[in-house]
Chain A
Amino acid sequence: MGVLTVNNLSYVYEGTKKKVLNNISISFEQKKTYTIIGKSGSGKTTLLALLSGLDLCKDGEILYRGQNLKTIDRDDYRSKKIGVIFQSYNLLTNATAIENIMLSMDISGVKIDNKKEFAYNLLQKVGIDKETADRKVLKLSGGEQQRIGIARALSHDPDIIIADEPTGNLDTATEESIMKILTSLSEKEDKCVIIVTHSEKVAGYADEVWGIENGKLSLVKKKY
């Protein structure tokens, strides 16, 4: 059984009739990187919002380790079970990088002896040095902010990492670096990494590539 399972999921936005997602089923497993590829408006971001518990499905179900997201505390799910990396980073811009990581750890209820040192190490791991970590997010580049976003997603050691166009705003060199970090999470740390993208290049890093078109999800490519 997958760590995250989607069964017969359909979704219609309020006030509209069109099914953005139409009877989707998929199972995500640990130690694997998945990409969901599709054009703008294909429903991939909607799927990501549902998978990350930011929105709730009406038709069908999403199960985290067999538990329906409708029945569990979604705040706990977001803060403890998954790590979300946003395309527009969604960091507290007035706070420093280290403060963003530590706040996320506080929200998740992480209790370790030296949180600050842990956070610095985490940032170091994604390529953010101590000096940069102590600067306000607002003063950092897009690539640096995205690295902080990744570190924040990892700060509470979740099973699943969900990333929405993680390299959408970044240059090619940074894209490569970010993708290496993400894929290494599944390879070396046994995480389930789900990346939503419109970039075929990014999709190429995945173990499984799924395409979404007109609300339907289908397997495009699978590494064996």
Chain B
Amino acid sequence: METWNLGGIEMYILKNAMKNIKRNKGRNLLMAIVMGIIAVTCVIALIINGATSSIITDYKNQFGSEVNVELDYEKIYESGDMNNLPTATIEELKGYANSDYIKDYYFYLEAPAVSNNITSINQEENSGIQGSDGAVGGGPDLGQPNLKVIGSTSYQLFEEFKKGERKIINGRIFENDNEVVISEDLAKLNKLKSGDTIVLRSIADVEKDIPLTITGIYQDLTKDASADFAYKDPYMTRRNELLTNYETAASLVGEQANSMSRIKYFLHSPDDLEAFVKEAQGKGLSEYYSFTNNEYLYKQIAGPVESVQKISTVFLVVVLILGGIILVLLNLITLRERKYEIGVLRAIGMKKLNVIKTLVYESIIVTMVAVTIGIGIGGLASQPVSDKLLAEQIEQKQEQMDNAGSNFGGASVALPNDVEMIDSLNAELDLSVVLAIFLIGSLLVIISSSMSLIYITKYEPIKILSERN
């Protein structure tokens, strides 16, 4: 008689493994069901984890990295010295931004201004207001401002331009000091165009004319909020906003720039906050300045997503542990039968390696079938499951916010208008999840065949068979 070649041996091992699966239908079906359940839950948990992780990271960076600097009045009050408020000049605050922890910084200032040769929008309807007492912004003798000059250290940080709420339709954005862009409506009303000069007076020096050059006209695409009100304050009208750089706006308010400015630092990582504060204080910043990020807002917005992630992670770990234990127990239950099979195969001369291959092939086939079905079911179920979990978490969060509101006078705690709670997750099956599941599948193969493998490597066939006999 002739003998098989190597390919033939592999073939019969594979064939025998498949026959074994068929012969032991009950055992393998039970294994496949357990593995399938593990796979389905793992797929759902991993998909949800992936979807939530990217959202959490984005929001953490967005809210955790943005640090606002302001005086901590509570701390100052506690110190008992309200008369000597600590000060930090803009130059000093800019100096603190010169740090390895800081990616960018952002100084923003809204300066009230008056122009006697410009008619602001809504000014006609409120004629007589301009120049009256009770100035906004606290400027001595400036009267009611009819224009608002907004200065920022970075054009990019005019969020409205990013969001498409404003766009330059003529000329260019400001580049140098004393350059502004004005709204299309304001330009039309006063027949102004790029290149024209306007003259303002501000709270820094109410007697001094400040000439500003118009470099561009912007179009405001938002709804005119003042249209709904009977009293239309020109200062509060968006189309009366003149956009310029921070220095120009600061020069309009003079010494008050320090207290009127909004200062924001952008950290490389939210984790750098403490180190950055220490560094700034080391450079001379008063301890009465507080650095706050939007942790509260982050928790309101991303809190439900974080909760969903935690649930899915716990679920994943529990299923893996329980599933692993069940598989080991199933193996123990079927071990007697398996041991006998191993003993017989070894006694009739099947090599250890080939017996191992047979068992591993069996496990691989059962596991891969179960895992593939699990991926299919899990992939289909992940979106509805994540939607349901997130909806429950949002409901809980909303209840918490309502309760918190009722504890503080009846009104519910609301999020800022431009911020919305995350109410959907894009729970899609991707390659990383498939790879992770097949990795888990490999782990299941090892678990499901480990007991038998121990017997093969540890005991001689005569011992295994004599134990049974």
Contact = CB atoms under 8 A, between A and B. Distances in A.
Contacts of B23: 92, 94-95
Given A95-B23, A106-B4, A54 B348 contact: no
B24 interface: yes
A19 B371 CA distance: 54
Interface stretch (A58-66, A107-115, A203-211): A107-115
A78 B348 contact: yes
A104 interface: yes
Given A55-B460, A90-B465, A107 B349 contact: yes
Contacts of A78: 347-349
B467 to A, nearest CB: 12
Nearest to A108: B349
B415 to A, nearest CB: 64
Contacts of B344: 90-92
A157 B1 contact: yes
B1 A95 contact: no
B19 interface: yes
Interface in B1-24: 1-4, 8-9, 12, 15-16, 19, 23-24
B26 to A, nearest CB: 10
B1 A110 contact: yes
A94 B24 contact: yes
A146 interface: no
Nearest to B15: A106
A86 B350 CA distance: 16
Contacts of B341: 92
Q: Which residue, B16, B344, B345, B354, has most C-beta atoms of chain A within 10 A?
A: B344
Nearest to A45: B466
Interface string B165-203: 000000000000000000000000000000000000000
Contacts of B19: 95, 99
Given A110-B3, A111-B4, A49 B349 contact: no
A111 B462 contact: no
A198 interface: no
Contacts of B208: none
B351 interface: yes
A88 interface: yes
A54 B352 CA distance: 13
Q: For the side of the interface on B, what is the size category?
A: 20 to 34
Contacts of A109: 3-4, 8-9
A220 interface: no
A103 interface: yes
B304 interface: no
A107 B462 contact: no
Interface size class of A (residues with CB under 8 A): 20 to 34
A76 interface: yes
Contacts of A44: none
B386 to A, nearest CB: 43
A54 B460 contact: yes
Nearest to B468: A88
A117 to B, nearest CB: 14
Interface string B331-363: 000000000110111111111101000000000
Contacts of B379: none
Contacts of B4: 106, 109-111
Interface in A32-58: 49, 54-55
Contacts of A77: 349
Contact of B8 (A49, A79, A93, A111): A111
A61 B9 CA distance: 32
A4 B15 CA distance: 35
B4 to A, nearest CB: 5
A84 interface: yes
Contact of B347 (A84, A112, A157): A84
B192 to A, nearest CB: 94
- In this complex, the member of B16, B345, B347, B349 whose beta carbon has the largest number of chain A beta carbons within 10 angstroms is B349
B457 interface: no
A54 B462 CA distance: 6
Nearest to B344: A90
A223 to B, nearest CB: 31
A77 to B, nearest CB: 8
A182 to B, nearest CB: 18
B5 to A, nearest CB: 9
22 contacts: A49-B462, A54-B462, A75-B346, A75-B349, A75-B350, A77-B349, A78-B349, A84-B347, A86-B347, A87-B469, A90-B343, A90-B344, A92-B344, A94-B24, A99-B19, A103-B16, A106-B12, A106-B16, A107-B12, A109-B8, A111-B1, A112-B1
Given A54-B347, A108-B3, 19 more contacts: A54-B460, A54-B462, A75-B352, A76-B349, A77-B349, A78-B347, A84-B348, A86-B347, A90-B344, A92-B23, A92-B344, A95-B23, A106-B15, A107-B350, A107-B354, A109-B4, A111-B4, A111-B8, A152-B348
Closest CB pairs A-B (n = 5): A79-B349, A109-B3, A78-B349, A106-B12, A111-B2
